[in-house]
Every structure is written in C-alpha cells, then in structure tokens.
Structure 1
Amino acid sequence: MYTKKKPATSVSWAGSDVLIEVHQLDSDAEIDDETMEGLDFLESQGEDFERALESTGFGRFHYALLTLCGLIYLNTAVAITIISFVLPSATCDFQMTSSDKGWLTAAPMLGMLLGSYFWGCLADTKGRKVVLIGALIMDGLCGILSSVAQTYILFLILRFINGFAITGAMGICFPYLGEFQPVKHRETILCWMEIFWTIGVIVLPGIAWIVIPLEFEIIMPSFKYASWNLFVTVCSIPSILIGMWLLFFPESPKFLLECGEADEALEVLRNMYSINTGKSPDTFPVHSLREKVRTMSVVSQNSTRSVRSLRIRKPKELKLLLQEIWEQTKALCKPPYLRYTVLTCLIQFGLTSSYFTLMIWFPELFYRFEEFESLHPGQSASVCDVSSIVIGGNSTDVEYCGEPIGDEVYLHTLIIGLACIPTSLWLPLCVHRFGAKFFLVFSLLVAGGVTMGLYFVDSSSTNLILSCIFEALTSLAISTVYCVMVDLFPTQLRVMAAALSLTFGRAGALIGNLVFGFLIDLHCVVPIALFAFMLVGSGLLCFKLPSTGQGALD
C-alpha cells in the first residue's frame, strides 16, 4: 500500500464526444498498487488540456486576444524608448550633461531590473490578468505624473517607476497569450507579436514629430509645460486604456487549472468556444475538466487559492506567497530547468543591453550628426568624432543646447521603424520552416557585425543604414526569445523564468546605458565594441537551445 501525500487525479476520455471527468482524492488517502499505477500513467499524459483547448476552435476570440496582447507589446515599445526623444528636447529645461542623460536613460532600466522578477512572481502566484492590469495602470499614471515634473530628480524617479511597471506588462503578455493557443497555432501567433513591436517603433517617432515641434508652452512662476511634456502625456494614456480593456478578457485557463479552479477554467473554454463558433456555450463538447497532478511544491498546492488576490490581508498569506516564490525560484535553479535558465539569462543580458542602449541613444546620435553637418557642411566624420566635436566645441558649463530637433532626426527614426517591417513579416511566415532557433542565431550574429560597423560610419546616411539593420535584427531577436521561452518552461514556472531572464536583461540595459552615457564623449569605441561582442556571444549561446514549438504546452 502507498500513501499519496498530494491530491490525486483520475481522468477518462470519452470518444468523439469529449468528456474529461475527475475524482479528487483526499490528500492522506491510501492508494493501492493498481490505483498508483493508474495515477503514474495519468501523470505522464499531457494531452487532456490541449484537446479541450483545441475543441474551442480558432477564431474571433484568438484574434481579439492577439490584438490586445499586441497593443500591450506595442505600448511597451513606446514606453521603453520614449526617453530617446525626451533627451534632446529636455536638455535645456533640465540642464543635462551627457552624464545626466546616461542616468536618465538608465533609470527606467533600473526600474525594469527591480520590477521584472517582482511582477513575474506575482503573475505565477496570483494570475496573469490581474497583474497585467496593475502594471499597465501604474505605468500610465506615473507617466502622466512625470509629464508635469518640474525638476530633473523628480522626472528621473517617475521614469524609474515607469520602467518598474512596464516590465511587468512586457514579461507577462507573451505567456498570457500563449496559454490560450492550441499547439499548432501557438508559435506562429506568438511570432506575430513582433509586428506590433515594429508598429510601436514606427508610431513613436510619428507622435514625436507631430507633438514636439508644436509651438506650445505654458509658463507660470514655478511651472512650465512645453510640447515635449505633452508628448510624454500622450504616450502615457494608452497604458490606462489598454488596462481597462483587459478587464473584459478572462484569466488564463491553464493558470486556473494549475490553481485547481477547474470549473472557472472550463467556463473560460466554453466562452472561447462560443465566441469562435457563434454557438451556445452549452454545446461545448467538454463537460467536465480537471488537470493532471500538479508537479509543484506542497506549499503551492496548499496556498495557491489564498494568494490569488492582489491584497495580502494576513501575515500568513504573505508568508505563503514568499514560500511559493522561493520554491519556484529553487525549481528554476535545479535540473531539468537549470540549463535553460542559465542560457536564457545570458542571452537576454547580451541582447537586451545592446538593443535598449543603442535604440535609446540613436535619436541623440542623429541629433549630433545633424548639428555637426550644419556646423561643418561638406565634411565627414565618425560617430566618435561627431560627438567630440559637437560637445567639445561648446564652451558653456551645460552641454550643447541649440535649436529644437530637426525634421531629419524624426524622419531617420521613422525610417528605422519602417525597416523592421520585412523581418516582422518574415518571422511568423517562415518560423515553421526554419525554426525559432535559426532566427535567433542569424539575427544576433549579423547584428553583432553591424554594431561593430557603427564605428566606421562617416556620415548620417551610412549611420542610418546600419541603424536600420541593427533595429530590424535585434527587435526580431527580442520577440523570438519570448516565443522560445513559452515552450521551454512549464506553466507554473513560465512567467517567473521569463522574469528572471528579463532581470538579467534589464541589468545589462542599465549597465549599458550608464557605460554609453559616460563613454560616448570620451572613448566611444569601447561601448560599441563591447555591445558587438555581447551580441555575437548571445548568438553563439543560442546554438545550445533546443528546437521549440512542436511540443504541448505543459
């Protein structure tokens, strides 16, 4: 005789008329040898939920969900890179040096560094939907407050909070979307998210081009609100609107099953079926649904329901939450997940540090090229020479503070976004033919070579060409990493694994922005060579990743 110390589950599947029935045994119930063999067999089966999910069909619900998650991802592209247009515009208002700009670009990255694991832990214990809503609302409100900040320090703090909030939405939207998708559509649907990031990269300079050049200014004795402040406000409002729209979408049915809330999960599947087919939810062929035995800690099984609310009402609930986070963290750091955890963290560090640093500083570099070419018409110079001449030629204590950003800077940044469209379409259309691993290796290795090439550019036009290639390939890699991670880890560890890798990525972005801000005017070849090395290193590490997209979502 055996004593089963965790809940046991039995399942039956009834022919074409799908029927999944469950009998939950008492946690201390004695189980004979025959029953134990049956349970061991059932625990090895992972198709029951997938079959029920496939029974919902594929249609309007999935397209609406893709639109929602795509807008979240688009919004993160805007929120993360908004500083790139604030830097030139706010230089005079905040009297910023290159060092000050480095700290300002690093502040959101520091927020992301601290927020990534925080939001991931919450999402894996309290649910994807409620955490997404909280992160989006926080980002929107803090963004609006930052738009009226009157001092550099206050603006810096609020942008730090923006980074803390938006990283939650960025890390959770992929697992949330993926857990609603049948296996045969999952990888393709997740790859379509890249097009939304591209749209965000295109939309941001478009909004900046419309708003920042406006001759708009409100001046009071202790208050100033200019066009760049309005730009920050406009870019903050979508977070609140998307968070409100998310209220009308359900929690992930896979997460609900992992929490033992099978009736709620079944209701979600019924509604999906009704929206996709136009039929009554009562005609959904699955009549009863329970998940296989959960392979998490005893703490998780006993406490999941008690921590589903965002509010911690009792010390015991906080203790259970911290225990759950600790158990899941230990699971990520032990076989069989340790190898994938280390790989994804290192890849994210190299990729994210290079991408977010250079993308945030590209408009500033375009601005410096424009100023150099206006001061020295007909002459050519490298990025490093341009920075030293433009900044070094300014005799004031505050670094160059000249005319507003020219139209050419907005146009160049817009062209960079448009250059991403071909790769954004190439990924979802060809991912099944080449595999996500191919796209990761190809994009990272080529992007590394392009980054090194930035040192040799001698004009704004060649700088633009290389910048377009860099953005197209690195943004492709960013999205592909998220797609791969959905399949690398099981449901109860998925968001936390993504959050841990994002934490390493944000640490790299924080260090990268600080290094770039301090060295761009002194030894700019050092950060350029460093980022090229990290991109190539990340590409080589991708060879160690397994092929994904074929297995069921655990």
Structure 2
Amino acid sequence: MAKLNTVAFEEALSMTGLGKFNFLMFILALLVVTGMTFEVFSVSYLVPASACELDTTVFQQGLIAGIPLLGIIATSHIWGYLADTQGRRKALLWSMVLGYCAGFLATFSPNWIVFAVLKFASSAGLAGCYPLVITLLGESTPQDKRSVIIAFLNTQLFLSSGLMALLSIPVLHMTFAYYIPFLGIHFQAWRLLNLIFCLPCAISGISIYFSYESPKYLLKEGKHDEALEVLKAIYVINTGKSQEEYEVHALSLNEASAESTSTGLWSSFASQTIPMFKPPLLKSTLLLSTLFVIAYVGMQPFVIWMPFIADAFMRSLENGDTGISFCEMLRLAQNQTDTETSDCSLNVVAMTSVFAISLFLGIANALFGSSVNTFGKKKLLIGFMLMSGTCAIFLNFIHNYIASGIMFILYVVSAINFSFLSIYTVDIYPTYVKAMAVCLTLMVGRGSSALGINVLKSLLTYNCELAFYLFGGLTLIGGIISFLLPSDNKKPKTVDE
C-alpha cells in the first residue's frame, strides 16, 4: 500500500494503535508515580515513627512534613525547563536517580536536621517525575484515549498511599535496634521502612533507561527521522506488523514553536516560561495555577496527616468516645496520648483504615477517570469540589462517629480532582512548553500546600473546627472558580490558534 506523504502527528500517533506499548508505558508511569509517592509522602509515616529516636517536637515534626513540598518548589521549574529542552526521558531518568540517592541516604540520618535536609533533596530530585511522566505518557498515547489514561494514572497515587499504610503496619511494630558506631545511630524499624519506601525509585530509574523518548518532543526538536522511527517501533509493538506496513512517510507537528532562538541559558529558560504568561495562554496559566493551589491546599494537608488523623480517630473509638463530633474525638485522643508513655508506633486499625480510604479513593478515581469522556472533566471537577467543601463544613455539626467518618471520606474524595486538572494542563499547552507548564502549575499547587500542612497540624491541635471551615470553604470557592474552565466540548486554544 502506498505511504502517505505528510501526516499530522496526532493522526500518525493514532495510526500506531492502542496496545502492548501503551500498556508497558502505563506500567512504567505507575512505577514512577509509586516511587514519587513513596518517597515524597514517606514523611507521613516516618515523622511520627522517628519522633522517639530523633526526639522531635510538634513544630519540628510539622517542619519535616512540609519539607518535601518545599523541595518541589525549589526545582519544579528547572525540571520543566530540562524536559522541554533536553527531553522528557532524560530529565525523568535523572529525577528518579537523584530522588533515590537522597532518599537512601536519609535512612542513616543522625538527627532530624540531616533527615529534613535529605528529604528536601530527595523531593527536589523527584519534583519533576510526576508532571514529566504525565507529559511523556500523554505524548505517547492516542488523543482519544489520553484523558482516560492520565486520569487512571492518578489512581496509583491513592493506591500507593494505601500500600504505604499496609507496609508500615508490620515494619513499624518491629522492635530491633542495631547500633552503627561510626554514625552514632541505631538502625530501627523506621529506618528500614525508609529503605523500603525508596526502592521503587531505583526500579523506575532502571525501567526509564530502557524506554523511548516522546516522539512528539523529537518532532518539536526537528528530529523528524527519530520521531518517525519511534512511531514505527510503537506500531510494531502494538500491532505485531512490520515497520513497512506503517503508512506514514513524513510528519508535521501543526503547532507553534518557541519564539526565541537564543542559545544563552537565561534566554532559553525565559523562552520556555514567558509564553505561559502572555496571551493567549495567560488566562489558562492563571486559572489553572489558582485551581491547583486551591486543590492542593484544600486536600494535600489532609492526605499528609491522614495517618495522624486516623490514629487519633481510632484511639478515640477504643475509649468509647462515639457520641461526640469529629474534632472532639481528635482532641480527646491527643490529650490521652500526651498523658501516656511515649509510643511512636502507629495504631494498626488506623493504618488499616488509611489503606481502606486510599483504596476507596483509588477505586473512585478509576471509575470516574474511565468515564471522564462521558461526564466531562469540568462537570466532575466542579461536582467533587462543591460536594467536598460542603461535607467539610457540615462535619463540625455531626455527633455520630459513623456519619463523621463518612463525611470526612467524602471530603477527601475531592483529591481525585488532581487528575482532571492534570488533563486540562496536558490538553491546553503546546508541546514546546507543555512539560514546563505541567511542572509550574503543580509546583505552585504543591508549594502552597506546604504552608497548609503546617497550618492544619496546628489547627487540628488547637482549633480543629476552624480547620474544616477554612479548608472546606476554600474547596467550595474552587468549585465556583472551576466554572471558568473551558467546556469539554470546546477544544482549548493554544498559541498557534
């Protein structure tokens, strides 16, 4: 059959089909997300578990818990720049390697300061992995399946969090302590757990080494032959046919390129950033950044402190405090813990509950992610934000532990909105700034949540009701602002339109 002369990239990608290659790419993305989740959110379990040995105060624990997000602020922009100028695969590989190395070294921290610094370094290394793997996956997946695939990927965030809770149960209840003289530390259970948490980063790094670069990135760089070879390889893997049967001879991107041609580092860096803050992308950048801030500030602190909240909730139930409000249960449990002998292990039932909640969120994300094309990401985003904000506010008026637990779960279910916001970012921005845009919007959201993490911990201790009024109200505002997003039946405009 005669080959076509020139084919637009999206059409050429669709012609490769959907099959084994896309499945393998999705598995790779799952490994990357698992590695990032395990390392960045490990502080949720390691901070309370290490409190006895490192002798940390409440303030120091809050500081350590927020450190990973500060690391993300520090380097997200850089990773986006590297991905848009050096390649998605190369940047992603270095991201996982650096994250693993710093995470591994954190295992042997002699004090909380060294532990915090190394966690900052590991999160700084991993700051780019989630947005970069979304970009790589999106640019390797046919357009009609892209939204569903990316939405499904976010499910792994929740499943990984649940798996962390399950792993912490047997490990943190081990009682061994091996002294390491030249470091002056005792190798205890929480250090072993940290080693386990950083292993997926190593596995991901090895897997990325054997993966393909994004064909769309190669085409944007003017490497037409290399991009075509990657598409041919995808075609062969997906269909089992020979490269000669792939009916594409040449490719066209049909997309605007960077305006700046300067080779200077600063000029190159600026050329990847400035377009996002100029029309026609300015409105999208401001709107998506605002929504990422609201989503992350409203949800991320509760995800980080979920083990703490679940532990307090379950301890209150064990004491028979079932006819009081959610916040009163947390206060009573904390007061009891303060008067008892220090115990840095986490409640087994509580960790099982964290797993159950994470599993529920993962299933919800999978169900709604698979139907995103049916319901529309805008409607789902608005609906979950409005529902969650309402549940958070009304949580303070409920005096039944079952109803309180349900309302709390319905509040945190809004965390699946990260998927829909990520889809918007991938859809709206052109290739030459796509990775930078995903990194920047995530950086703004995650960075602002660092403040929320410290604020929430204090509020849960001293004014719990205000915490749910503030965070729930913010989520409601996010639902209202989401009405400004482009509708699903209208293709978002990019710089070339």
Give me the TM-score of the superposition, normalised by structure 2. Answer: 0.92
Question: Mapping of 1:286-435 within 5 angstroms?
Answer: 286-292=248-254, 294-299=256-261, 303=263, 320-373=264-317, 376-378=319-321, 380-392=323-335, 401-402=342-343, 404-435=345-376
Quote how far apart the aligned CAs of 1:79 are: 2.7
Quote how far apart the aligned CAs of 1:231 are: 0.8
The aligned residue for residue 247 of structure 2 is 285
Quote how far apart the aligned CAs of 1:460 are: 5.7
What is the CA–CA distance in structure 1 between the aligned matches of 2:82 and 2:395, rounded to whole Å? Answer: 40
Distance 1:553 1:226, change over 3 A: farther
Distance 1:196 1:392, change over 3 A: closer
What is the CA–CA distance in structure 1 between the aligned matches of 2:2 and 2:487, rounded to whole Å? Answer: 32
What is the CA–CA distance in structure 2 between the aligned matches of 1:552 and 1:534, rounded to whole Å? Answer: 26
The aligned residue for residue 60 of structure 2 is 100
Quote how far apart the aligned CAs of 1:550 are: 7.2
Q: Once the two structures are superposed, what CA deviation does each residue of 1:370-411 show, in whole Å capped at 9, x if it has no partner?
A: 44455x445654454345445556778xx9723622211111
Aligned residue pair count: 492
The aligned residue for residue 473 of structure 2 is 533
Of stretches 346-355 and 114-123 in structure 1, the one that deviates more from structure 2 is 114-123
Question: What letter is aligned with 1:450?
Answer: C
Quote how far apart the aligned CAs of 1:190 are: 1.7
Q: Secondary structure at the match of 2:305?
A: helix
Check the 8 A contact 1:112/1:503 in 2, yes or no. Answer: yes
Of stretches 452-461 and 329-338 in structure 1, the one that deviates more from structure 2 is 452-461
Q: Does 1:190 align with 2:145?
A: no
Quote how far apart the aligned CAs of 1:78 are: 2.7
What is the CA–CA distance in structure 1 between the aligned matches of 2:373 and 2:22, rounded to whole Å? Answer: 19
Distance 1:144 1:70, change over 3 A: same
Question: What letter is aligned with 1:517?
Answer: K
Distance 1:462 1:549, change over 3 A: same
Of stretches 263-272 and 461-470 in structure 1, the one that deviates more from structure 2 is 461-470
Distance 1:218 1:549, change over 3 A: farther
Check the 8 A contact 2:295/2:445 in 1, yes or no. Answer: yes
Distance 1:293 1:510, change over 3 A: closer
Of stretches 98-107 and 283-292 in structure 1, the one that deviates more from structure 2 is 283-292
What is the CA–CA distance in structure 2 between the aligned matches of 1:325 and 1:378, rounded to whole Å? Answer: 57
Q: Secondary structure at the match of 1:336?
A: coil
What is the CA–CA distance in structure 2 between the aligned matches of 1:116 and 1:456, rounded to whole Å? Answer: 40
Check the 8 A contact 1:103/1:517 in 2, yes or no. Answer: no
Question: What letter is aligned with 2:396?
Answer: Y
Quote how far apart the aligned CAs of 1:285 are: 1.9
Q: Once the two structures are superposed, what CA deviation does each residue of 1:330-363 show, in whole Å capped at 9, x if it has no partner?
A: 2111111011000000000011112210111121
What is the CA–CA distance in structure 1 between the aligned matches of 2:438 and 2:331, rounded to whole Å? Answer: 39
Check the 8 A contact 1:116/1:171 in 2, yes or no. Answer: no
Question: Mapping of 1:152-551 within 5 angstroms?
Answer: 152-220=112-180, 222-292=184-254, 294-299=256-261, 303=263, 320-373=264-317, 376-378=319-321, 380-392=323-335, 401-402=342-343, 404-456=345-397, 458=399, 461-474=402-415, 476-548=416-488, 551=491
Question: Mapping of 1:26-105 within 5 angstroms?
Answer: 48-105=8-65
Quote how far apart the aligned CAs of 1:452 are: 2.4
Quote how far apart the aligned CAs of 1:502 are: 1.4
What is the CA–CA distance in structure 1 between the aligned matches of 2:401 and 2:186, rounded to whole Å? Answer: 33
What is the CA–CA distance in structure 1 between the aligned matches of 2:158 and 2:451, rounded to whole Å? Answer: 25
Alignment counterpart, residue 149 of structure 1, candidates 109, 112, 129: 109
Distance 1:145 1:413, change over 3 A: same
Q: Once the two structures are superposed, what CA deviation does each residue of 1:425-466 show, in whole Å capped at 9, x if it has no partner?
A: 322332111111111111111111222244345566555433
Q: Secondary structure at the match of 1:224?
A: strand
Quote how far apart the aligned CAs of 1:99 are: 1.5
What is the CA–CA distance in structure 1 between the aligned matches of 2:401 and 2:42, rounded to whole Å? Answer: 22
Q: Secondary structure at the match of 1:298?
A: coil
Check the 8 A contact 1:369/1:386 in 2, yes or no. Answer: yes
Distance 1:55 1:403, change over 3 A: closer
What is the CA–CA distance in structure 1 between the aligned matches of 2:68 and 2:120, rounded to whole Å? Answer: 4
Quote how far apart the aligned CAs of 1:265 are: 0.6
Of stretches 517-526 and 331-340 in structure 1, the one that deviates more from structure 2 is 517-526
Quote how far apart the aligned CAs of 1:472 are: 2.8
Question: What letter is aligned with 2:388?
Answer: A
Question: What letter is aligned with 1:487?
Answer: D
Quote how far apart the aligned CAs of 1:97 are: 2.5
Q: Once the two structures are superposed, what CA deviation does each residue of 1:65-84 show, in whole Å capped at 9, x if it has no partner?
A: 11111222233333332222
Unaligned runs of 5+ residues in structure 2 are none
The aligned residue for residue 6 of structure 1 is none
Distance 1:76 1:465, change over 3 A: farther
What is the CA–CA distance in structure 2 between the aligned matches of 1:549 and 1:193, rounded to whole Å? Answer: 23
Quote how far apart the aligned CAs of 1:199 are: 2.0
Question: What letter is aligned with 2:328?
Answer: D
What is the CA–CA distance in structure 2 between the aligned matches of 1:327 and 1:387, rounded to whole Å? Answer: 50
Distance 1:85 1:298, change over 3 A: closer
Distance 1:165 1:328, change over 3 A: same
Question: What letter is aligned with 1:405?
Answer: L
Unaligned runs of 5+ residues in structure 1 are 1-14, 21-46, 304-319
What is the CA–CA distance in structure 1 between the aligned matches of 2:385 and 2:192, rounded to whole Å? Answer: 36
What is the CA–CA distance in structure 2 between the aligned matches of 1:463 and 1:231, rounded to whole Å? Answer: 31
Distance 1:144 1:458, change over 3 A: farther
Quote how far apart the aligned CAs of 1:507 are: 2.4
Of stretches 363-372 and 56-65 in structure 1, the one that deviates more from structure 2 is 363-372
What is the CA–CA distance in structure 2 between the aligned matches of 1:332 and 1:186, rounded to whole Å? Answer: 22
Q: Once the two structures are superposed, what CA deviation does each residue of 1:275-302 show, in whole Å capped at 9, x if it has no partner?
A: 1111222332222335457432132xx6
Structure with the higher helix share, 1 or 2: 2
Check the 8 A contact 2:428/2:492 in 1, yes or no. Answer: no
Quote how far apart the aligned CAs of 1:496 are: 1.3
Check the 8 A contact 1:348/1:502 in 2, yes or no. Answer: yes
What is the CA–CA distance in structure 1 between the aligned matches of 2:179 and 2:397, rounded to whole Å? Answer: 44
Q: Secondary structure at the match of 2:251?
A: coil
Alignment RMSD? 2.5
What is the CA–CA distance in structure 2 between the aligned matches of 1:293 and 1:110, rounded to whole Å? Answer: 34
What is the CA–CA distance in structure 2 between the aligned matches of 1:190 and 1:220, rounded to whole Å? Answer: 44
Q: Secondary structure at the match of 1:192?
A: helix
Check the 8 A contact 1:120/1:172 in 2, yes or no. Answer: yes
Q: Secondary structure at the match of 1:521?
A: helix
What is the CA–CA distance in structure 1 between the aligned matches of 2:143 and 2:102, rounded to whole Å? Answer: 38
Alignment counterpart, residue 3 of structure 2, candidates 13, 17, 36: 17
Of stretches 229-238 and 200-209 in structure 1, the one that deviates more from structure 2 is 200-209
What is the CA–CA distance in structure 2 between the aligned matches of 1:364 and 1:129, rounded to whole Å? Answer: 37
Question: What letter is aligned with 2:106?
Answer: S
Q: Once the two structures are superposed, what CA deviation does each residue of 1:19-38 show, in whole Å capped at 9, x if it has no partner?
A: 22xxxxxxxxxxxxxxxxxx
Distance 1:86 1:403, change over 3 A: closer
